[in-house]
Amino acid sequence: MAELKREELAVQQERLMLVRVLLPDEPADSRDPLGELRALARTAGAKVVDEIVAKRPKPHPGLYVGTGKARQIAERCEQNEIDCIIFDNDLSPGQIRELEEITNCKVLDRSELILDIFATHARTRQSRLQVELAQLEYTFPRLTGMWSHLDRHGGGVGTRGPGETQIETDRRLVQKRIGALKEKLGQIDRRKLREVHKRDDVFCVCFVGYTNTGKSTLMNLLTGAGTYVADQLFATLETKTRRWRVGPGQTVLLSDTVGFVRNLPHHLIASFRATLEEAIWADLLIHVADASDPQIKEEIESVDRVLDELGCDRNRELLVLNKIDRINDPTVLTVLQNRFPKALFLSAATGRGADSLTEAVLERARGLPVRVQLEANYRNGKLMHYLARHAQVENESYNDSVACIQAVISTRKLDLLRSFGKDVVILHQTAT
């Protein structure tokens, strides 16, 4: 039986043409329809030489673009010596094959480009497994009885990473590999879950947001961590966690996660679920957005859709608008403040506004104090230690195996106290 082979392919600066087809039900980025795809292409290390934006009432079944537009693309590819065409749309295998025959160029769609970038930025075993799984799951259902779609020689954009190889095997072997990857990632997922439960007494904060909004820069400012920072998309793939001192005797854990983009492929979200577990379990989500980006509203909505898909509690979300140092017109800032009245505004580059964020996190970490009357099993040493450490005990008495306690405790610590189950019973709770 044939085996999955892996090759190291040379990365070259390919000459790209970018194409976007605008459909009637698709909101257009009126200022720059290809702006994000251009940034993605440059992050992949390619050179954008030509761009085409076309409008259609619906995709052409064979070419996605019309026949005339396909011929125009082919002519411009020949004139500009184009190596690769990237569509800002999802294409079928048949459409890719037809376009490649007409243009005599390699053709990729948006999802393949994103997967390629993830492949080049994957540095840990977990992220490499996630990339390989996402690549195989993207490719597998799109191939019908043949693997020529992956049989691309010469390297370049769209052919890198663990899943990039020429697949010379049958569907059963690929399915087996997908199953093995899911099992390995499941083990990582379960291990992370155990780690989360071990730090139940620590307030956990997680950065989420669109890619390249300055999350890593902000993390470095707040924690002094040496997190990798680059002015490109998807500079961070692996979740990084650091301690952040937000007040006297108050330290929280701060995690930085992979950034999102518009129309992030669903299979990619699923594959990177283990990486995004920090967002799911965090006590507070800090949604970092780029205040200087004209598409800020659309980018915030894109992130919120992914958070909903992951099942995150949006009530734990705090919106932060970063990069205000790039806004020269005060009226623009006023418009943003009116549009996002609950947001905090800051600059990770200059530090302006960072104190307000720290104060907001400190307030959330402490929680609102409440006075409770409860019964606790005093034979449970961990429970009694938890009460002694996190509650201000005002009165206590003992009866058989039960300690009757009146104490003041934060709402957050009270929620964690309930995890002791039957060993603790909350009889009464009032605000202080």
pLDDT of 416 reads: 79
Q: Within 10 A of 375 (CB to CB), how many other CB atoms are there?
A: 16
pLDDT-based confidence at residue 343 (cuts at 50, 70, 90): very high
pLDDT of 72 reads: 96
Q: What residue has token string 């909350």? A: 426
Which uninterrupted H or E stretch holds 196?
Answer: helix 171-198
DSSP summary character for residue 84: E
CA distances from 90 to 59, 93, 108, 114 (A): 11, 10, 9, 12
pLDDT of 228 reads: 52
Helix, strand, coil distribution of the chain in percent, nearest 5? 40, 25, 35
| CA 323 – CA 344 distance, rounded (Å) | 12
The domains located in the chain, with CATH, are 15-114 (3.40.50.11060), 123-183 (no CATH), 200-365 (3.40.50.300), 367-431 (3.30.70.240)
DSSP summary character for residue 103: H
- Residues 6+ away with beta carbon under 8 Å from 74: 102, 103, 104
Q: Each residue of 402-425: pLDDT tens digit?
A: 999 999 998 878 877 888 889 999
Across the range 360-369, mean pLDDT stands at 84
pLDDT of 238 reads: 58
Find the range with the poorest average confidence among 150-164, 205-219, 227-241, 309-323: 150-164
Q: What residue has token string 């938890």? A: 386
pLDDT of 10 reads: 35
Put the strands of the sheet holding 204-209 in their side by side order: 240-247, 250-256, 204-209, 284-290, 317-322, 344-345
- Decide if 344 contacts 310 (C-beta within 8 A): no
Across the range 219-234, mean pLDDT stands at 69
- Decide if 229 contacts 217 (C-beta within 8 A): yes
- Residues 6+ away with beta carbon under 8 Å from 69: 52, 54, 63
Nearest to 275 by CA among 259, 263, 293, 257: 257
- Decide if 369 contacts 409 (C-beta within 8 A): yes
pLDDT of 286 reads: 96
Q: Within 10 A of 251 (CB to CB), how many other CB atoms are there?
A: 13
Q: 291 pLDDT exceeds 90? A: yes
Find the range with the poorest average confidence among 194-203, 243-252, 308-317: 194-203
pLDDT-based confidence at residue 270 (cuts at 50, 70, 90): low
Provide the 3-class DSSP secondary structure of residue 422.
Answer: helix
Q: 1 pLDDT exceeds 50? A: no
Q: Each residue of 9-58: pLDDT tens digit?
A: 333 578 999 999 998 877 655 567 888 889 888 888 889 999 999 999 99
**Residue environment code for 197-215, b if the CB has 16+ CB neighbours within 10 A, otherwise e:** eeeeeebbbbbbbbbbbbb
Q: Each residue of 85-135: pLDDT tens digit?
A: 999 998 988 899 999 999 999 999 988 888 888 887 777 787 788 888 888
Q: Please state the separation of Cα 337 from the chain's center in Å.
A: 25
pLDDT of 9 reads: 33
Q: 149 pLDDT exceeds 50? A: no
Question: What does pLDDT average to over the chain?
Answer: 82
Q: 7 pLDDT exceeds 80? A: no
pLDDT of 6 reads: 34
Across the range 361-383, mean pLDDT stands at 88
Nearest to 171 by CA among 195, 197, 139: 139
Across the range 259-275, mean pLDDT stands at 69
pLDDT of 203 reads: 83
Q: Please state the separation of Cα 166 from the chain's center in Å.
A: 29
Q: Which residues pair with 208 in a beta bridge?
A: 287
Find the range with the poorest average confidence among 209-223, 333-347, 407-421: 407-421
DSSP summary character for residue 60: B
pLDDT of 54 reads: 92
- Decide if 288 contacts 211 (C-beta within 8 A): no
| CA 28 – CA 31 distance, rounded (Å) | 9
Please provide the size of the chain in residues: 432
